[in-house]
Amino acid sequence: MSAAAAVAILAGSPGAASPSPGAADVGDPYIKGAGNGGYDVAHYDVALAYAGVKTGAVEATVTVTAAATQDLSAFDLDFRGPEVTAVSVDGRPARHGRAGQELVVTPSEPIRAGRTFQTTVRYAGRPQPVRNGTFGTYGWTPSKDGAVVASEPDGASTWLPVNDHPGDKATYAFHITVPKGLRAVANGRPGPVRPGGATTTYEWAEGAPMASYLATVAIGRFEVRRTEVDGVPVVTAVDPAFRASAKRLESTTARMLRWAAPIFGPYPFATAGGIVDDPKLGYALETQERPLYGGFAPDEGFIVHEMAHQWFGNSVGLARWQDIWLNEGFATYAEWLWRERTGRDSAEKIFKRYHAQPGGSPIFRPPPGAPGAGKMFGFSVYIRGAMALHALRKRVGDKAFFAVLRAWTAEHRHSTATTPQFVALAERVSGQRLTALFQAWLYAETKPRIR
Ligand code: TRP
Ligand code: ZN
């Protein structure tokens, strides 16, 4: 649920005399086609049965609970998954058609603005990842013994009918049925394990609002470990090929949680953990409550980065993809702070080392506050984004800087926010004018000077 959507519900939809179709996307210029207009999702219930590696097939029933933000004659869900076999709205069969990544649903009668309605989509077949020149291969991805999902930025539609934009967070329930001998691990809190005949059903529940790109499931063989940090259950699942890293993943995740709470504010979720699975993705994703490490044993830096995203990116989420530095710059700066905590290195030293590089380097270009869609995950978003935070810290001092971080995670907890909101908050908490500083670090084409 977004604030804008809440306002839209209260206001009704001015001027819309008769029900009309919801928009086919939310108009985010960075990812065309992503998200939809006319409704706001509160919850996804995902019942999915996976047949095994031989076929790679799934059979799924997903129920989307949403509130209409206009009188709707029809609406879209984003869906690039396999064949849709049935769609119903509030229990009544609904007409449906596919147009590119859009699943167009026409309910038997219009839905009034403000009403909560349930859409159930059944589908079956073999999901495929998105293969895209800009962002690589992502979404539902087959593994040696199952499949795993890493969807940033718009891959959730490879396996779910979804409002695929981070501006519309929702809670999720997962009921994942797998052949006996395999496991399913997902976001959030584990529920009961239900043995069937030849299958086992694993339940997971994400009770905090979550962006769709952070939804994950990992199916396969895993070594699962459980511990607890300050009352937060920590559940890790490691593919047997990476067994040797299982203990380190658990202990580093736990140490990071203890270290971060006083700095960033209380950990925002009910559980924590991590997943190491075999596809050689070569990257990690901060999947909510349980980051995914794709095909490698993560070192401390990776774990600290993905865990930092739980505060920066997951709890405080993006309202628009342009602000991606709010995720990646902050998570990178968390790595610098982690190195600083030992006293052997310092954020200042790391900052200076980077700053010595030439202005034409990809760590400086494009400017991280408006990187363009093609460079959303480029070096400058991570490195110059982190440098922007360090420049802020140098300007306002440690006391105000860490107060800014904690105010940010407190005020936008479980919601979304934008760069202008961060600048305004930093000015308010520090009592200083900071527009020029952020202009130089986030938006200027040229490498910022330092004193
Ligand atoms: N957000 C990830 C990180 O830095 C990186 C990433 C970008 C990613 N695009 C992705 C991961 C697609 C998985 C899939 O931690
Ligand atoms: Zn990251």
Q: Under 8 Å CB-to-CB from 169, ≥6 apart: which residues?
A: 1, 2, 209, 210, 211, 317, 414, 415, 416
351 lies in the same domain as 276: no
pLDDT band at 132 (very low <50, low <70, confident <90, very high): confident
Ligand closest in space to the Cα of 286: 1
Contact 83, 101 (CB under 8 A): no
pLDDT band at 134 (very low <50, low <70, confident <90, very high): confident
Q: What pLDDT score does 281 carry?
A: 81
Quick one: CA dihedral 144, 290, 167, 12, positive or negative?
A: positive
**Gyration radius of the chain over CA positions:** 22
Q: Among 246, 278, 310, which residue terminates a domain?
A: 310
Centre of ligand 2 to C-alpha 285, Å, is 7
Half-sphere exposure in the Cβ direction for 345 (13 Å, CA):
12
> Which phi and psi angles does 90 have, rounded to 5°?
50, 40
Q: State what percent of residues in the chain have pLDDT above 90.
A: 93
Summarised one tens digit per residue, pLDDT across range 25-80 is 999 999 999 999 999 999 999 999 999 999 999 999 999 999 999 999 999 999 99
73 lies in the same domain as 170: yes
The DSSP element (H or E) to which 150 belongs, if any, is strand 147-150
Question: What is the arithmetic mean of pLDDT over 152-157?
Answer: 97
CA 20 to chain centre: 30
Question: What is the arithmetic mean of pLDDT over 378-406?
Answer: 98
Q: DSSP of 100-130, one letter per residue?
A: TTEEEEE-SS-B-TT-EEEEEEEEEE----E
CB atoms near residue 130 (< 10 Å): 19
CA 24 to chain centre: 21
Residue 15 has pLDDT above 60, yes or no: no
Summarised one tens digit per residue, pLDDT across range 69-101 is 999 999 999 999 999 999 999 999 999 999 999
Residue from 138, 141, 380 to probe ligand 1 pocket by mutation (most atoms less than 8 Å from CB): 138
Q: Among 218, 246, 267, which residue terminates a domain?
A: 218
3-class state of residue 132 by DSSP: strand
Give the count of domains, the chain: 3
Q: What pLDDT score does 139 carry?
A: 97
- What CATH number is associated with residue 277? 3.30.2010.30
CA atoms of 366 and 202, how far apart (whole Å)? 44
Residue 360 has pLDDT above 70, yes or no: yes
Residue 7 has pLDDT above 50, yes or no: no
Q: What pLDDT score does 371 carry?
A: 98
Tokens for 80?
């690039």
| Average pLDDT along the chain | 95
Summarised one tens digit per residue, pLDDT across range 196-253 is 999 999 999 999 999 999 999 999 999 999 999 999 999 999 999 999 999 999 999 9
CA atoms of 271 and 256, how far apart (whole Å)? 14
The residue nearest atom 11 of ligand 1, judged by CA position, is: 285
197 lies in the same domain as 98: yes
Domain range for 351? 317-443
Summarised one tens digit per residue, pLDDT across range 299-321 is 999 999 999 999 999 999 999 99
Ligand closest in space to the Cα of 214: 1
- What CATH number is associated with residue 207? 2.60.40.1730
Tokens for 239?
């593919």
Q: What pLDDT score does 133 carry?
A: 79
Tokens for 295?
């095909």
Residue bearing tokens 């695929």: 164
pLDDT band at 6 (very low <50, low <70, confident <90, very high): very low
Question: What is the arithmetic mean of pLDDT over 260-273?
Answer: 98
Contact 386, 415 (CB under 8 A): no
Q: CB under 6 Å to ligand 1: residues?
A: 135, 138, 150, 152, 283-286, 305-306, 328, 377
328 lies in the same domain as 411: yes
Residue 105 has pLDDT above 70, yes or no: yes
- Decide: pTM greater than 0.85: yes
171 lies in the same domain as 274: no
161 lies in the same domain as 248: no
214 lies in the same domain as 227: no
Q: Among 187, 218, 249, which residue terminates a domain?
A: 218
Q: State what percent of residues in the chain have pLDDT above 70.
A: 96
Tokens for 40?
């706001």
Centre of ligand 1 to C-alpha 373, Å, is 14
